[in-house]
Amino acid sequence: MIAITYIGHATTLIEIDGFNILTDPNFSKRVLLLKRHGAINFDPGKLPELSAVLISHAHHDHLDINSFRYIKGSVPVFVPKGLGHFVGKFIRNPVIELKHWGGHTLPNGLDITATDAKHIGFRWLPIRFRNTNGYVISTKNARVFFAGDTRYGSHFKEIARIFGEQPPIDVALMPIGGYSPKWLMQGFHMNPNEALEAFLDTGARHMVPIHFGTFRLSAEKLKEPVESLSRLAIERELGERVHILNSGETFKS
């Protein structure tokens, strides 16, 4: 059984065959000068027992150190290669670095594989911690793909090639916001149409969009990404496979 709860931005709670995984936890009201829009309809103080936390990259909206106060220090935290030393200064959790296509199986049998992501994850100037990851979470019977933050590219077809055998990817979590103006943002983020293409490239059965409506990172209106995605999904007859969630809502597969 798979259940995806959308919390906001790139923060999701993934339940897969009894395991609970939290992605890019951010429960803060602000990221630097950017305020959060909308309520978090999820109580971080009531998180279930977590098996892992996944960090896609070092940008403040994806790596929010303050949010780790809700996470037990025994939970392993997966980060891109090179980010472990920095994260380890602020949290007491075991930190596991993964390079692209590198994998790690936890003692409980949960398998985490880092995938390529086309983004630049610097934290401060001078530019550091540039690496970015997506992740495929696998059990014996199910798979979930968390894309993190990325532009569109051939790496999505590579994911399908590597993970195309049984079990296939059941759910792909795809970022859809932060794309305007195109000349500035297309090297970092996907627009809704590109996110749909990426979803189809992976061969996943279902898509849950992320990275929208929470922090205003670019010029498009906050509701534009989901409105555009909804329209495109219907036009392309993908409405039954694309599941747009509000904060606190859950999709089950």
pLDDT (tens digit per residue) in 48-76: 999 999 999 988 888 999 999 999 999 99
Q: What CA–CA distance (Å, rounded) separates 157 from 136? A: 14
pLDDT at residue 209 above 90?
A: yes
Per-residue pLDDT tens for 75-93? 999 999 989 988 999 999 9
Per-residue pLDDT tens for 116-169? 988 775 655 444 667 899 999 999 999 999 999 998 999 999 999 998 777 789
Residues 6+ apart with CB under 8 A from 18: none
Strands (E), the chain: 2-8, 11-16, 19-23, 30-31, 34-35, 52-54, 77-80, 95-98, 103-105, 111-116, 133-138, 143-146, 171-175, 206-210, 250-252
Taking all residues of the chain, what is their mean pLDDT, rounded to a whole number?
91
pTM over 0.85: yes
Per-residue pLDDT tens for 9-20? 999 999 999 999
Structure tokens at 185: 């943002």
Q: What CA–CA distance (Å, rounded) separates 53 from 238? A: 30
Q: How would residue 219 be classed by pLDDT, with cut points 50, 70 and 90?
A: low
Q: Which domains does the chain have, with CATH numbers?
A: 2-252 (3.60.15.10)
Give the residue-averaged pLDDT of 191-195.
95
Percent of the chain past pLDDT 70, that is, above it, reads 92
Distances (CA, A) of 221 to 35, 87, 228: 15, 33, 11
